[in-house]
Amino acid sequence: MKDDANRHTPVQRYVDILTDAGFKAVFGDERNKDVLIDLVNVVLPENRHVRDLTYATTEIPGFTLSNKSIRIDLRCTGDDGSVFIVELQCYHQHNFFRRCVEYAAKVYDSGSERGDDGRYDIPPVYFIGLMAKDAPVFDRSDREVWRDRFVSEYTFREKASHDVVDDTIFLIFVELNRFDKRREDCRSMADKWMFALKHVGTLDRLPEDLRVAAFERLFEACEISKFDADRKLKYEHDMMTERDYYSILDTYREEGVKEGFEKGIEQGMERGVLKGRMEGKAEGREEEKRIIAATMKQLGLPIDTIAHATGLSKDEISDLTGL
């Protein structure tokens, strides 16, 4: 028993890149620009290739009617002027696809403000979304075309011919939340990248069949022991903050579901049997979102974050008080 007591839990060697903290520690560090370039190139359309990237501000000014700015995870400019937005989506969000379209469109629109005398010489914008475990899942169940396809691309195409007249806005989703291939079944470079991104945080070394330059650099960039003191401290702080946030969210979601459901059922029962129950469940779900949002607001979380987590509008959240 003494030996068991002295045993230590294995130390995690690599960051989990599918956490906000891990994503920022690796891809947010300009010293790992080559790793980001390799990832971007493997998911871009075949006719596109990036040789170099320049990191840009992650703030989009004047984004809303109230002229407030929003922040995106990562924004870079390619050597040909193309703009790349790279985001990690960790949790479910209502109207997620629409949000991605809006973010990409705003960045594209900002490209027309360069004083090109109305020539519309606007560089294309590529929104690349890494979809982690709890991110929204697109419905691929009844389409054979999606079998073994985990990278999807959306842009402006002619309906019948699929012609793309010009490069404008592209939405590319790396659907790690659907990816379940074993390493030995990964044949394409895209599949190998998806496996590496999804599992790097659980491995203790680089697998031999992934030992190529791109993955050697990825695993090197993810190795916690190679972080300098400041970077390691920031990563550990961000991880603690992230765990606390999701713990709070899960707790209040569970409590909100229970309280909101009971409240909705009680009100529904008063209106009568089956119809009352159905309406009560709907009201319960709405009440759940309101309770979660009010609690998050009391904890001082940003309204943008609360809106993403609950699906409520910013106006609805602003009007909330303690419930």
Residues 29-49 have pLDDT tens digits of 999 999 999 999 999 988 889
CA-CA-CA-CA torsion sign (147, 149, 150, 156): negative
Q: What's the mean pLDDT in 170-190?
A: 94
Q: In Å, what is the CA distance from 244 to each residue of 15, 60, 133, 300, 306?
A: 18, 27, 18, 13, 15
* Cα angle 25, 180, 148; round to 5: 110
- The pTM score is 0.73
Pick the most confident of 80-84, 264-268, 302-306.
80-84
Does pLDDT of 287 surpass 60? yes
pLDDT band at 275 (very low <50, low <70, confident <90, very high): very low
The residue count of the chain comes to 323
Which ranges of the chain would DSSP assign to H, the alpha helix?
2-6, 20-27, 33-43, 96-110, 189-199, 213-222, 229-271, 273-298, 303-310, 314-318
Whose CA is closest to 201, among 299, 283, 133? 133
What pLDDT score does 57 carry?
84
| 2 phi and psi angles, rounded to 5 deg | -65, -40
Mean pLDDT, the chain, rounded, equals 81
What pLDDT score does 159 carry?
93
Is 224:12 a contact under the CB 8 Å cutoff? yes
Number of neighbouring beta carbons within 10 Å of residue 24: 19
Q: Which residue has the higher pLDDT, 206 or 301?
A: 206
Does pLDDT of 8 surpass 60? no
